[in-house]
Structure 1
Amino acid sequence: MGANTSSKPPVFDENEDVNFDHFEILRAIGKGSFGKVCIVQKNDTKKMYAMKYMNKQKCVERNEVRNVFKELQIMQGLEHPFLVNLWYSFQDEEDMFMVVDLLLGGDLRYHLQQNVRFKEETVKLFICELVMALDYLQSQRIIHRDMKPDNILLDEHGHVHITDFNIAAMLPRETQITTMAGTKPYMAPEMFSSRKGAGYSFAVDWWSLGVTAYELLRGRRPYHIRSSTSSKEIVRMFETTVVTYPSAWSQEMASLLKKKGRLNCDPTFELEEMILESKPLHKKKKRLAKKEKDMRKCDSSQTCLFQEHLDSVQKEFIIFNREKVKRDFNKRQPNLTLEQTKDPQSEDGQNNNL
């Protein structure tokens, strides 16, 4: 009876908007306060990506919708070999999705927690690559504002990629930022005095990179700052603390490149998503169908008001497809080349006739 059934993947129109059905969910690898991350494979190209999905209801409740939209706006305009690049963004009634480069080397925080000690040559390579990425971001008028080991991912070849643009800021020319944002142990001194009107600019990312490099080499940060440390204490610490530098940075350390034979993340995320998660992805279609049925019975004014917020998210969400952008650009290239190779004398003749 089943002999005639086909196991071929469904065929998708290249002009069709990418959606949840275009991907196969392989495994969960992480989670945040209102978002989770899993490894996916695109059905038509078989390419592997990381897919971050954020629950709309939780984003609305925590007033995080604008941050998500800002992150999408920033990421769709960026592309660099040492960034985690956005490939697709789409939504359904329940979640917002961001599909990005898949990097299986783990983040640098994970390796620090595994007591990995990086060789000086390795850290030098990281610094060079991160400098190139930050220089690119500065050329695009973007301040990351959260450079730290947690937000630096490794690929299978040991190269670094900056991720998480959730609190990044777009800086108009000839201006500075005065709002405090970031992770305290990695924030530059000028960020703590910005409330007095001094402001800060791209240099704060370079400070964070310096703190990160120190931590990678020594296993601890140069300043003993915690998230609970007050701004006054931090300012005093910057003024009084003498940072020490070991005389032998080149001491033997465990090599990161030997640890690429496995997925560097916490395997309990997979267990939580598939067994303990109250709203697992593989039951999404059934759940959405029930939700649509329940919304027809909406009679509470509070419920309906909340639905209006969700509808607003649905309307304003930024849909993006880097694959399509590249395809359209390549299609335009022959026409651009043809325009550039036209006989200029012929064009001058036409102008003279006019």
Structure 2
Amino acid sequence: MGANTSSKPPVFDENEEVTFDHFEILRAIGKGSFGKVCIVQKNDTKKMYAMKYMNKQKCVERNEVRNVFKELQIMQGLEHPFLVNLWYSFQDEEDMFMVVDLLLGGDLRYHLQQNVRFQEGTVKLFICELALALDYLQGRHIIHRDMKPDNILLDDHGHVHITDFNIATILTKGMQVTTIAGTKPYMAPEMFNSTKSTGYSFAVDWWSLGITAYELLRGRRPYHIRSNTSTNEIAHVFRTATVMYPAAWSKEMMSLLKKKGRLNCDPTFELEEMILESKPLHKKKKRLAKKEKDTNKSCSSQGCRLQKHLESLQRDFIVFNREKMRRHHNEIQENITLTQTKDPEEEDNQNNNL
């Protein structure tokens, strides 16, 4: 197979920074406009995660660097059982990496596309769990702004987790948000009417949750709004549309965990990553080594400008390690406990000696 093949995993110092080398790439599971997602296993703990990696050059070219940094800033301060939590963030010359909880139950959009009709009791459970997550976010002054079935993942026990904080925002105390952001069919009416004097707040996430719950129960949304529907048309829909509420929701039995045991995603992503992908992960080391050799070559003014942006990104990127943060927190707690449980007699003897 090759000189590097070994049955023994490499040994890593727990105090060193986590990098791409700490993980084994298992398979690709999804892709976006400039980011891709794969399943990875950490070499030392054997724990599995989802790893999102974003091409730096594409992020710079599409002016998405600020959004990525904001997402990292928000996610490193969050930890909740019904969120997709960030564990590590790191970078190399080509990509930025975010390692998060691995959830193999698929997103709710996938299940809707498979014609799953959720029981009312199941949707109630989802609403309770999502409400706890939104309440947690609100307590930290965060508006998600993109609540929809696509951004709600199931774990293998059928519990829901909110993901994708790419357009989330932190609400300054006493202020309202005025920028329009989100997915039109799930956006609250006030988001379309926001101005500098009248904005919106946390209520928009609860509206989106209501639209999502309706869609899960009926298989379609309450309003006929699409991503290409104009703002004027949307305003007309909100003024004139009558939401239909069935006398009895469907009783059809459809188990949430029916597909448990296999990955609920499109397997073509795997083929794209390994066959069609121009810069696959498994060839990264060779590619970066070659790139290093070419750094001394002259570049055009446009290329040099891009290089300056990439260097700025490299410098400002937020590195995060939840594992290390937890160890540090546990050490502090242990020291506090030791101090509090110290023998009073021993303390008196020490004072006498002094």
The answer, yes or no, to whether TM exceeds 0.5 is: yes
What does residue range 153-302 of structure 1 map to in structure 2 within 5 Å? 153-195=153-195, 197-302=197-302
Q: Which moved more, 1:165-174 or 1:191-200?
A: 191-200
Aligned to 1:350: none
Quick one: structure 1 residues 216 and 300, their matched pair in 2 at CA, closer, same or farther if it must change by over 3 Å?
same
TM-score (norm 1): 0.94
Aligned to 1:73: 73
Aligned to 1:53: 53
Taking the aligned partners of 1:299 and 1:6, their CA distance within structure 2 comes to: 40
SS of the residue corresponding to residue 258 of structure 2 reads: helix
Taking the aligned partners of 2:121 and 2:310, their CA distance within structure 1 comes to: 50
Query: Could you tell me which amino acid in structure 2 is paired with residue 88 of structure 1?
Result: Y
Taking the aligned partners of 1:339 and 1:211, their CA distance within structure 2 comes to: 52
Query: Could you tell me which amino acid in structure 2 is paired with residue 140 of structure 1?
Result: R
Aligned to 1:11: 11
Taking the aligned partners of 1:21 and 1:163, their CA distance within structure 2 comes to: 25
SS of the residue corresponding to residue 39 of structure 2 reads: strand
Query: Could you tell me which amino acid in structure 2 is paired with residue 300 of structure 1?
Result: S
Taking the aligned partners of 1:12 and 1:226, their CA distance within structure 2 comes to: 49
Taking the aligned partners of 2:45 and 2:119, their CA distance within structure 1 comes to: 38
Aligned to 2:350: none
SS of the residue corresponding to residue 285 of structure 1 reads: helix
1:109 aligns with 2:109: yes
TM-score (norm 2): 0.94
Query: Could you tell me which amino acid in structure 1 is paired with residue 165 of structure 2?
Result: F
SS of the residue corresponding to residue 309 of structure 1 reads: helix
Taking the aligned partners of 2:190 and 2:251, their CA distance within structure 1 comes to: 33
Query: Could you tell me which amino acid in structure 2 is paired with residue 272 of structure 1?
Result: E
Aligned to 1:98: 98
Q: Which moved more, 1:114-123 or 1:251-260?
A: 251-260
Deviation at 1:343, TM superposition (A): 9.5
Taking the aligned partners of 2:257 and 2:272, their CA distance within structure 1 comes to: 29
Q: Which moved more, 1:255-264 or 1:222-231?
A: 255-264
Q: Which moved more, 1:82-91 or 1:297-306?
A: 297-306
Taking the aligned partners of 1:10 and 1:39, their CA distance within structure 2 comes to: 19
Q: Which moved more, 1:197-206 or 1:87-96?
A: 197-206
Deviation at 1:233, TM superposition (A): 1.3
Aligned to 2:351: none
Taking the aligned partners of 2:252 and 2:323, their CA distance within structure 1 comes to: 43
Asked if the contact 1:145–1:182 (Cα under 8 Å) also holds between the matched residues in 2, the reply is yes
Asked if the contact 1:116–1:253 (Cα under 8 Å) also holds between the matched residues in 2, the reply is no
SS of the residue corresponding to residue 24 of structure 1 reads: strand
Query: Could you tell me which amino acid in structure 1 is paired with residue 276 of structure 2?
Result: L
Quick one: structure 1 residues 6 and 260, their matched pair in 2 at CA, closer, same or farther if it must change by over 3 Å?
closer
Q: Percent identity?
A: 83
Query: Could you tell me which amino acid in structure 1 is paired with residue 319 of structure 2?
Result: I
Deviation at 1:260, TM superposition (A): 1.1
Asked if the contact 1:31–1:269 (Cα under 8 Å) also holds between the matched residues in 2, the reply is yes
Once the two structures are superposed, residues 96-130 of structure 1 have per-residue CA deviations (whole angstroms, 9 ceiling, x without a partner) of 00000000000000000010110111101100000
Aligned length in residues: 343
Deviation at 1:254, TM superposition (A): 1.7
Once the two structures are superposed, residues 282-318 of structure 1 have per-residue CA deviations (whole angstroms, 9 ceiling, x without a partner) of 0001111111111111342322221111000000000
1:136 aligns with 2:136: yes
1:120 aligns with 2:151: no
Quick one: structure 1 residues 226 and 299, their matched pair in 2 at CA, closer, same or farther if it must change by over 3 Å?
closer
Once the two structures are superposed, residues 139-186 of structure 1 have per-residue CA deviations (whole angstroms, 9 ceiling, x without a partner) of 011000000000000000000000000000000111100110000000
Taking the aligned partners of 1:262 and 1:203, their CA distance within structure 2 comes to: 36
Deviation at 1:22, TM superposition (A): 0.2
Deviation at 1:6, TM superposition (A): 5.4
CA RMSD of aligned residues (A): 1.7
Taking the aligned partners of 1:269 and 1:170, their CA distance within structure 2 comes to: 33
SS of the residue corresponding to residue 41 of structure 2 reads: strand
Query: Could you tell me which amino acid in structure 2 is paired with residue 336 of structure 1?
Result: I
Asked if the contact 1:143–1:168 (Cα under 8 Å) also holds between the matched residues in 2, the reply is yes
Query: Could you tell me which amino acid in structure 2 is paired with residue 97 of structure 1?
Result: F
Taking the aligned partners of 1:146 and 1:36, their CA distance within structure 2 comes to: 19
Unpaired runs of 5+ residues, structure 2, are: 348-354
Query: Could you tell me which amino acid in structure 2 is paired with residue 67 of structure 1?
Result: N
Deviation at 1:213, TM superposition (A): 0.1
Deviation at 1:196, TM superposition (A): 6.2
Deviation at 1:88, TM superposition (A): 0.2
